[in-house]
Chain A
Amino acid sequence: MKKLLVVLTCCLALALAAVPALAKDYPTKPITAYVPLSAGGTTDVFVRTIAPYMEKYLGKPLILVNKPGSGGAVAISTLAKAKPDGYTFSWANLPTLVTIPQMRKLTYDPKELVYIASPMHYDYVLYVAKDSPFNSLKELIDFARKNPGKATYGTPGLGTTNHLGVAWLANHEKVKMVPIPFKGNPKSVAAVLGGHVVACNTSTTASVSSFKGGKLKPLVIMSANRIPLTPDTKTLKELGYDFSQFSCLGAVFPKGTPEPIRKKIEEAIKFALSQPEVQKKAKDELYVSIDFLDGKKYRELCDQYWGIWGGILKEVGLKKF
């Protein structure tokens, strides 16, 4: 037992002796990155696709840890408690930083975090079933106007941008459309296929297979740009609405992380995105749009959408903070 104690003390002493790494030769050890979603989803696969290239750029391994829960808040709250030494960062979807803090009390303040960069944004499409009588957004809205409460749409949860996007549309047109929350995008698509709801607003990946299999009809692109999956479908902007649904994936550091370290990760993300393999996989297999935003732009967009989504949250009665 005594020997053991000696060994243990030695371990401790050695560990304490290891000097903290300096910013200029960062990184000197593996970096941990939280993924706020469970393994196997689009975001997870995307992050894992770019990770090897980021490792190549940084010269040290990147350890990805899935920490799902509370719309990403569990990952970010753990991150907020981590040491700001550059060896822990988290991926975050826009709602985690923008809408969720306005909906419930959290242990972190998203505005204090250090925004690294955003590698991509999601695209959203409003679908109806193939055999649905509606062929355009206008027809759906007319139906909603004539039958208040009959126009139901599936969302992956209340307060998600999928819900808020359509809620904005309904408010703008002054019609009543009923959001039905399902557990995730695939289930909301399934509800349209089964004829339980009229429409659904979903991210592209969840709908690719059913759409290509000819079971869904796109009405409008909710996000800003047309997408290769449904090249003929117009965007909301093209239909004359001054609005587009926006959500992106980004990376954040805890409060107080030094700028040179942030810059280094930002460059690593940029480097990974410039790889043709990454671009091809994102476009052809994951159906997400690569769209690099540096830390400053990323932060500005988050601040801008804090107001936009916050306004809609207030209208639908979900804004509490």
Chain B
Amino acid sequence: MNARSELSIAGVLIGFSLLNYFYLIPTQVVAEGSSPVYPMLVNTMLLCFSLAYMGDGIRCWRQQKKAEGEGQACSTGGGKVMMRPLAMLVVTGAWVLSMEYLGFIISTFVFLIIASRIFGSKSWSKALIMSVAMPLIIYFVFRVLNALLPEGPAEELINLILG
């Protein structure tokens, strides 16, 4: 976290609160017939705090520039670090979206296999055992409790077998 990225965050926040003022509140609050007082109040708070944050950020940036010669405070948050979290986000998203069509068991199986790779699993066999066992256990617990998980081909097959 360096001063430059702090500044850009402050910029994004200020941008968001302006968007909120001029677009979101008129279209999503006022147009629906709700009172804009409270959303406006909260938004103003956000704007004030973001501005203060930016102000301090600028001060901080200047200090950092001065100190740069001494080799202090360097950026860490490069794109590389974010790779695995982003991959997790994509895989989880695909899982959640496909669950309704593929059913719980199959989609969870695929998710677990891929996610365990993202987390650096070395043994295929362990990952495979867990990816098969976990969805099945959860499915049967829910079945016993008479609650429904999204159904797909695998669930239909189980239903067919168990009647």
Contacts and interface: CB of A to CB of B under 8 A. Distances in A.
Interface of A: 8, 11-12, 14-16, 18, 29, 32, 61, 63-65, 104, 320
Contact of A15 (B147, B148, B156): B156
Contacts of B76: none
B148 A32 contact: yes
Contacts of B147: 63, 65
B68 to A, nearest CB: 53
B15 interface: no
Given A11-B153, A32-B148, A64-B146, 16 more contacts: A8-B106, A11-B154, A11-B157, A12-B153, A14-B153, A14-B156, A14-B157, A15-B153, A15-B157, A18-B156, A18-B160, A29-B159, A63-B147, A65-B147, A65-B148, A320-B33
Interface residues of B, number: 12
A42 B115 CA distance: 43
27 contacts: A8-B106, A11-B153, A11-B154, A11-B157, A12-B153, A14-B153, A14-B156, A14-B157, A14-B160, A15-B153, A15-B156, A15-B157, A15-B160, A16-B153, A18-B156, A18-B160, A29-B159, A32-B148, A61-B146, A63-B146, A63-B147, A63-B148, A64-B146, A65-B147, A65-B148, A104-B32, A320-B33
The winner among B32, B106, B154, B157 for most chain A CB atoms within 10 A is B157
A287 to B, nearest CB: 27
Contacts of A29: 159
Interface in B129-156: 146-148, 153-154, 156
A9 to B, nearest CB: 10
A130 B40 CA distance: 42
Contacts of A32: 148
Contacts of B106: 8
A63 B143 CA distance: 10
A32 B153 CA distance: 18
A18 B148 CA distance: 20
Contacts of A61: 146
A14 B148 CA distance: 21
4 residue pairs, one from A and one from B, having the closest CB atoms: A15-B156, A15-B153, A12-B153, A11-B157
Contacts of A18: 156, 160
Contacts of B33: 320
A15 to B, nearest CB: 4
Nearest to B105: A11
Contacts of A63: 146-148
Nearest to B147: A65
A244 to B, nearest CB: 29
